[in-house]
Structure 1
Amino acid sequence: MASSRRLRALITNDDGIDSPGLLALATGARDAGFDVVVAAPHVDASGVGGSVLAVRDGKRVRVHSRELPDLPDVPAFAVEGHPAFIVHSAGRGWLDPEPDVVLSGINIGANLGHAVLHSGTIGAALAASLHGWRGLAVSLGIPLVEPERPHWESALAVLPDVLDVLLAAPDGTVLSLNVPDLPVRELGELREARLAHWGSVRSRVDHVSGDDGDLLHTHEAELTGDPEPGTDTALLAAGHPTLTELQSVTDRPGLLDGGTLSRRAS
């Protein structure tokens, strides 16, 4: 990773500044030779996607300096804003120098399928691409019942090879890495994966009425059945770390060309 020694990495997440996954990723980036700065939401911001919402006082957003365990020399900030807001702030004058790459995670739970749209971890990496930076979202496939000690070290074991891929890719490239929550010795080989139709978890939302008024009550459950072969969901379930290149919002030309609307309507 000698080439990374001249590069600055912004480490963020959506689980909040106190997440052990954030500390693990910052440590891994430092050990890879990056000049590291950490900026993450002051509270859990899971599921916010690409939101740039922040807690504002007029035009001001509060930032709190923090010292991370075992990383006393790494600048760290708890920001009262969502992950994509933090990334955009870094590219709009806050950080000097600006980051060269944004590393987001390590998320508590996999980010799989087209449901990655809703992930704040993914949203931060995609926001990086809007500034021409490379972005990497790292997630650990922890089940709904979180284990006492997740295998953060397994994600870090895969990280160097993935950083090589990221740094060799064009500016603006965004990658999503999912790693099974298994000991390092039990990991399969790193595999490129396409997105599943949804993911590994789906929510059911019920309208509940009671003494406290009307509520929307959410239940999360892991999907049953065999996942589609070759997808990120299937490969992760088989013990493989998966790597997927993602694209930000783009346009598709030809809407009014040659009767496209008529064909789609039919």
Structure 2
Amino acid sequence: MRVLITNDDGIDSPGLAALARGAVAHGWTTVVAAPARESSGTSAGLTAAEDDRRVQVERRELPGLPDVPAYAVAAHPAFIALVASQGAFGDPPDVVLSGVNRGANVGRAVLHSGTVGAALTAAVNGARAMAVSLDVGLELAEPHHWDTAVAVASTLFDRLAALPVGAVLNLNVPDRAEVGAPVRAALAEFGAVRTRIKDSDDGTIALAAILVEDELEPGTDAALLAGGRPTVTPLRSVGEDPDVEVSL
């Protein structure tokens, strides 16, 4: 299998390199292409091109991966997944792995995630894809258990590769040294951490991440993850909804 590794935390994220090392260890032909800088919250946005409609790409070498082609791209992760499907970084990938993201991607808010947006974009362009996230909560300082997330993701690699083209999995892993096997979970209405407006008094809008005090719905990805279980949720990409009737 030919795999593309991308993310929305940027080319220098330790989670990106960890996931790439996991793909190489699994025996997959691996290429890394990730945003040159932080691109969180970009969903499936394609904004990237400068005035001359060209996107800058810089060759990089990632820690522990001297033989893996790696590129820092001045673009959002969904853009990278799109152009990868058209041969921008060699042959189009069979699988796209997006992550390991610094922070969980659970609940309906996955709509806004650049990590998930890259996976969804890859899926509608001929690949199978998995978004991988580590639940660091509000503790953004290193170290984190990136290898734990990769170990859990690796147990799903062969099953992902066997899924039909267009399949998307969303994996979330607790930030612990040891965790159990992933369990399938429904999307929650909201996660344990939410973004709120802090103030908007000076012509700007300041955001803050807060812990949700409401009880999380049992059986959902947010609740199971908060309880220390890795969760995996198959996601449906863009498509027609046969259940909606429109009279014209």
Deviation at 1:206, TM superposition (A): 4.6
**Is 1:197 aligned to 2:197, yes or no?**
no
Provide the C-alpha distance between the structure 2 equivalents of 1:36 and 1:56, rounded to a whole number of angstroms. 28
The answer for the alignment partner of 1:122 in structure 2 is: 116
Return the TM-score normalized by structure 1.
Answer: 0.89
Provide the C-alpha distance between the structure 1 equivalents of 2:238 and 2:192, rounded to a whole number of angstroms. 23
Asked if the contact 2:192/2:226 (under 8 Å) is kept, the reply is no
Which protein shows a greater Rg? 1
The answer for the alignment partner of 1:3 in structure 2 is: none
**Is 1:172 aligned to 2:166, yes or no?**
yes
Deviation at 1:69, TM superposition (A): 1.4
The answer for the alignment partner of 1:4 in structure 2 is: none
User: Which stretch of the first structure deviates more once superposed, 235-244 or 245-254?
Assistant: 245-254
The answer for the alignment partner of 1:256 in structure 2 is: 246
Secondary structure of 1:215's counterpart equals: coil
The answer for the alignment partner of 1:108 in structure 2 is: 102
Listed one character per residue, the Cα deviations across residues 243-265 of structure 1 (whole Å, up to 9, x for unaligned) are 000011222234235xxx9xxxx
Deviation at 1:152, TM superposition (A): 0.8
The runs of 5 or more residues in structure 2 that have no matched partner are none
Residue among 218, 221, 224 paired with 2:207: 218
Deviation at 1:94, TM superposition (A): 1.4
Deviation at 1:200, TM superposition (A): 2.0
Q: Counterparts of 1:123-202 in structure 2 under 5 Å?
A: 123-184=117-178, 187-202=179-194
Deviation at 1:57, TM superposition (A): 4.0
Going from structure 1 to structure 2, the CA distance change for 1:70 and 1:206 (only over 3 Å counts) comes to: closer
User: Which stretch of the first structure deviates more once superposed, 86-95 or 32-41?
Assistant: 86-95
Return the TM-score normalized by structure 2.
Answer: 0.95
The answer for the alignment partner of 1:228 in structure 2 is: 217
The runs of 5 or more residues in structure 1 that have no matched partner are 1-6, 262-266
Q: Which amino acid aligns with 1:103?
A: L
Which 4+ runs in 1 deviate beyond 3 A?
A: none
**Is 1:35 aligned to 2:29, yes or no?**
yes
**Is 1:47 aligned to 2:41, yes or no?**
yes
Deviation at 1:52, TM superposition (A): 0.7
Count of residues in correspondence between the two structures: 247
The answer for the alignment partner of 2:86 in structure 1 is: 92
Listed one character per residue, the Cα deviations across residues 161-183 of structure 1 (whole Å, up to 9, x for unaligned) are 21122122111100010000011
User: What RMSD, in angstroms, separates the aligned Cα atoms of the two structures?
Assistant: 1.5
Sequence identity percentage: 51
